[in-house]
Amino acid sequence: MAEAQPDDSLQATLKQLVEESLREGIGLVEVGEHGGAKTKTPNQKSKTVTSSGPQKPATTSGHSAGPSKQPTISQGAEQQSQQIANMVVQQLIPTLTQVVAQAVSTAVSAAVAAVADQITVTVTEKIRGDFDQRTLLLRYEQDKLEQYSRRESIRITGVADEKEENVAEKIIQLAKDMDVDIVSSDISVCHRSGQLRENAKKPRDILCRFISRSTKHSMMRNKKQLKEKDGYKGVYVNDDLTPMRAKMLRYIKEQHITRALYTSEGRICCYLRDNHPGPRPIVVESPDDLFRLGLDDVDLATLGLGNFI
C-alpha cells in the first residue's frame, strides 16, 4: 500500500495552531516609545527596559505626551515561532498520517470482515435451502417408487389375530366371501405386520401381495360386499400405502374438508366438502398436493418430514 501523503490544508492548520500556541506561551516583545524593548509575559504587568541615555520625565498634567505606539512582535520572535511551528508540524505530520492510515485500515478491515460474514451466512442459508428442497423432492420421488412397488399389494385390517394361524387360508376365505375366487398360487407373499402382543387393543394388519395385479383389482372392486357379510364387522381391504401416504390420508381426514375420500393405486382421491372444482376428484400423491385442497399451511412434521422444516 502506498504511503499516504500529508494534506496541505492539514499542514497549514497545524502550523497555525502551533504558532498561536507559541504566541501565548512565549514572551511577547514590544517596542517602547523611545525604541526601548519591553517584555510582557502572561498575567504580568509590562516592565520597561530602557537604553542608556537621558529619559524624559513623565508628564503629570494628565495629557499624554504624544500618540502611543501599538506593541508589536519583534521580527526575531516571529521568525522563531515560525521555525518552531514548522519543526513541530514536520514531526507531527508523519505520526498523524500513520495514525489516520492505521485507523482507516482497521475500519476497512472490520467492514470487509462484516460483509464477508454476511455473505457467508447468506450463501450458507441459500445452499442449505436449495439442498433441503432437492432432498425433499428426492424424498417424494423415493415415495413414488416405493408406492409403485406395492401396486399388487393390499392391506387387510380387522381380521382376528391368532397365535397359530395360516394367513394365506384366511385371505382365500375372505376373498371367497367377497365373491373372488383365488387359490394359494395367486398369492406371492402374505404375513402379519409387526410382532404379536398380548392384550393388544386391535389385531395386526395383514399384508398380501398377489402374483397378478388383476387379482388385486378384483379384491378392491368387491371389498364393499364385506359390509353385508356376518363376521366381518370392522374388517377393511385397502391399498397398501407407503408410511408417508398413510399419514397424508390421516392428515386429510383430520382437516374435515372432504365429503368423500378413497384411494386408488396408491393415489388419494378427494372430493371437497365445499366448492369442489368439477366432477373429478383432487388427486394427492405428495405433501405439495395438499395445498390443492385449499390448505394454507401443511405440518410436515406430522407427515414424518420434520427435518425439512
What does the pLDDT read at residue 19? 67
- Does any domain span residue 78? yes
pLDDT tens track, the chain, 309 positions:
444 455 667 667 766 776 666 666 554 444 444 444 444 444 444 444 444 444 444 444 444 445 455 455 567 777 777 777 777 777 778 888 888 888 888 889 888 888 888 888 777 777 766 767 888 889 999 999 999 999 999 999 999 998 889 999 999 999 999 999 999 999 999 999 988 888 888 999 999 999 999 999 999 999 999 988 888 999 999 999 999 999 999 999 999 999 999 999 999 999 999 888 889 999 999 999 999 999 989 888 888 887 665
Claim to verify: residue 121 and residue 215 sit in the same structural domain = no
We report the CATH number of the domain holding residue 175 as 3.30.70.1820
Is the pTM higher than 0.85? The answer reads no
Rounded to whole angstroms, the Cα distance separating 109 from 115 reads 10
Domain count, the chain: 3
CA atoms within 13 Å, Cβ hemisphere of 265: 6
DSSP per-residue string spanning 75-141? HHHHHHHHHHHHHHHHHHHHHHHHHHHHHHHHHHHHHHHHHHHHHHHHHHHHHHHHHHHHHHHHHHH
Q: Which three cell numbers stand for residue 100?
A: 489516520
Claim to verify: residue 3 and residue 125 sit in the same structural domain = yes
What does the pLDDT read at residue 6? 53
- Does any domain span residue 36? no
- Does any domain span residue 269? yes
Yes or no: say if 152 and 216 are a contact pair by the CB < 8 Å rule: yes
Claim to verify: residue 224 and residue 95 sit in the same structural domain = no
CA quadruple 173, 249, 284, 277: dihedral sign: positive
Yes or no: say if 252 and 290 are a contact pair by the CB < 8 Å rule: yes
Claim to verify: residue 170 and residue 298 sit in the same structural domain = no
Q: Which residues contact 108 (CB under 8 A, 6 or more apart)?
A: none
- Does any domain span residue 270? yes
Single-letter residue type at 231: G
Q: Which three cell numbers stand for residue 15?
A: 502550523
Q: What is the DSSP letter of 15?
A: H
Yes or no: say if 271 and 281 are a contact pair by the CB < 8 Å rule: yes
Claim to verify: residue 229 and residue 247 sit in the same structural domain = no
Rounded to whole angstroms, the Cα distance separating 65 from 293 reads 113
Claim to verify: residue 1 and residue 144 sit in the same structural domain = yes
Residue where a domain terminates, one of 223, 240, 257:
240
Rounded to whole angstroms, the Cα distance separating 208 from 237 reads 10
